[in-house]
Chains A and B, each alone.
Chain A
């Protein structure tokens, strides 16, 4: 495959796993028992795009955002308004959606990222709530609480992708690209700088990292990821409503990062897939569904404090060490 050849030269180590992931995704529509699961998986992939970005911010750079649903929503509404209300092209909608989210992230990020810890959480939380109120109240623009209808289906090369399987392939391809870029980024001086900021801002500063700039960069980047997801979401459902972009979803995104595994790109995917699909499997519990959901999260955090990715890595390491020498590894218990 010439495409794989080019990719591997471009991407080195990350191309193979991402290629395998994409191949697995291509097989999914044939494996899954019915089309409903394909649409769930499509939403899982869309969520994964946001969560990969949020993990760059939270897991790698250590900066929390409780308002990431806002960027997702801004992009979804922006492309919806551009294409449905003003009849602009899909490409314009994409540029406006991503551009607007990035610009808002830049404006919000400059003052907010001066805050740390709880204050940063409060700041971004406030931002998310303001945007949520805006979606609800500016009725002529967004349609208010009842939402906005008539957003056209995504069209590629002049062809509208009405087939859910086709749409899933597009979303899976975008997610794969996002994964590849993110894996490349964290294996560079930028990724190391972000991780340095996470552990010690003092030390990061003293190796020459411009902390304010890097924080802003990763904040805007994660907002762009969320915007791409918002664009795909709006043109998938054809309908957006404020309730999809509220505080609850922002928290869900954080939970996906944490359950998946902080500072793991693949963990982000695992977390998004797991938590998007989980409610579908918990339907059988009917009225106690939410209880079981909560209980599972607690169990996850108790037995895999480093998330799904961390749990798997620890398991593999343990097995490997057991194979080599019997000494018990230390350091798995902290945090």
Chain B
């Protein structure tokens, strides 16, 4: 792609998705998991996202990268409905979801993990994962009050699915521990297990490698790939660790100051001069007043990994 368009048109699109232009649905919907068109998000006068269009293909790992404050987490938050969009549309398997609140979208299978761990510290590890499977539960309050056969059947299924998810991430032997007692890296795996148990249609990972050491990050990469290959989960990954991104991604979107800068396979992205410029800091005059565009959604968004863990503990306290 970069070879074809060396002067880096921001809307450069890979061949997998022929006609993805703002507001236009692609021809083939069957393998498109999530399609977002012309998404804009404003925080007051600040444009956090501006006209971002992208396609997440079913069964693929799609990464969203970009310098600090590029709007990556904001994009994830727009997918889950945690920030209101000022323009554009989002469809899951061709169905518009942008008017739905987060819990409804989660019910439809858009699930996510958090940059700052959001483990339920008041539960055991197993309960955390069972809670994650909330959307799969169907029994009512009366079933719970009186422990009907339906309750027993569903709880057993839920427990089994949770154990499978814990085994998948390799922390099954910690199932009965209080979740807060787990080491940081294991809490990350617990968050993974929690979403895996929910059988997501689309899994959004917000900087899953933040605070992990090199070995843990490599294992994370393996885990993410296994989620795609063995469980068929469609993954969207926001990550700063380029080694991880280049290693696992089928497709990469590059955001810069709220706008789509480039997209393509890892190889194409690595050779894209606009991307290189954005990361190495030349060509600055194309993207003025960068700090104004800093993400306002999380406060701590898009900081380099070591800072995140510090922020995380600060926020939990």
Contacts and interface: CB of A to CB of B under 8 A. Distances in A.
Contacts of A193: 131, 134
Contact of B111 (A181, A185, A207): A207
14 contacts: A181-B145, A184-B144, A184-B146, A189-B158, A192-B123, A192-B134, A195-B131, A196-B123, A199-B119, A200-B118, A202-B82, A207-B134, A208-B107, A263-B122
Given A190-B144, A192-B131, 6 more contacts: A188-B144, A198-B122, A206-B82, A207-B134, A208-B107, A331-B178
A110 interface: no
Contacts of B107: 208
A295 B108 CA distance: 53
A184 B145 contact: yes
Given A10-B147, A192-B127, A331-B180, A205 B118 contact: no
Interface string B130-147: 111111010101011111
A203 interface: yes
A10 B146 contact: yes
A10 to B, nearest CB: 5
Contacts of A206: 80, 82, 102-103, 106, 111-112, 114, 118
A209 B103 contact: yes
A210 interface: yes
A181 B111 CA distance: 31
Interface of B: 80, 82, 101-104, 106-107, 111-112, 114, 118-123, 127, 130-135, 137, 139, 141, 143-147, 151-152, 154-155, 158, 178, 180-181, 194-195, 198
Q: How large is the interface on A (under 10, 10 to 19, 20 to 34, 35 or more residues)?
A: 20 to 34
Interface in A225-256: none
Specify the main secondary structure of chain B where it touches its partner: helix
B121 A202 contact: no
A277 interface: no
A190 B106 contact: no
Given A263-B122, A331-B181, A205 B106 contact: yes
* 6 closest Cβ pairs, A-B complex: A188-B144, A203-B118, A208-B106, A208-B135, A192-B131, A189-B137
Contacts of B198: 207-208
Interface string A309-335: 000000000000000000000110010
B130 A192 contact: yes
Given A185-B145, A195-B123, A202 B131 contact: no
A195 B128 CA distance: 10
A202 B118 contact: yes
Contacts of B137: 189
A199 B120 contact: yes
A300 interface: no
B106 A195 contact: no
A1 to B, nearest CB: 19
Interface in A175-193: 181, 184-185, 188-193
B122 A195 contact: yes
Contacts of B181: 330-331
Interface string A254-270: 00000000010000000
A211 interface: yes
Contacts, number: 104
Contact of A211 (B103, B114, B130, B133): B103
B151 A188 contact: yes
Contacts of B154: 189
A181 B145 CA distance: 5
Nearest to B143: A188
Given A195-B120, A200-B120, A205 B82 contact: yes
A208 B198 CA distance: 10
Interface string A1-35: 00000000011100000000000000000000000
A191 B144 CA distance: 9
Contacts of A11: 147
A193 B120 CA distance: 10
Nearest to A186: B144
Nearest to B114: A203
A202 B114 contact: yes
A198 B106 CA distance: 19
A111 B194 CA distance: 32
B80 to A, nearest CB: 6
Contacts of B195: 207
Residue in B112, B145, B180 whose Cβ sees the most chain A Cβ within 10 Å: B145
Contacts of B145: 181, 184-185
A189 B103 contact: no
Contact of A188 (B112, B119, B155): B155
Contacts of B155: 188
Nearest to B181: A331
A275 B122 CA distance: 25
Nearest to A262: B122
Interface string A66-91: 00000000000000000000000000
Contacts of B135: 207-208
Contacts of A217: 141
Given A196-B131, A207-B132, A207-B198, A189 B147 contact: no
Nearest to A15: B147
A11 B155 CA distance: 13
Contacts of A330: 181
B300 to A, nearest CB: 13
Contacts of B118: 199-200, 202-203, 206
Contacts of A205: 82, 101-103, 106
B83 to A, nearest CB: 12
Contacts of B139: 188-189
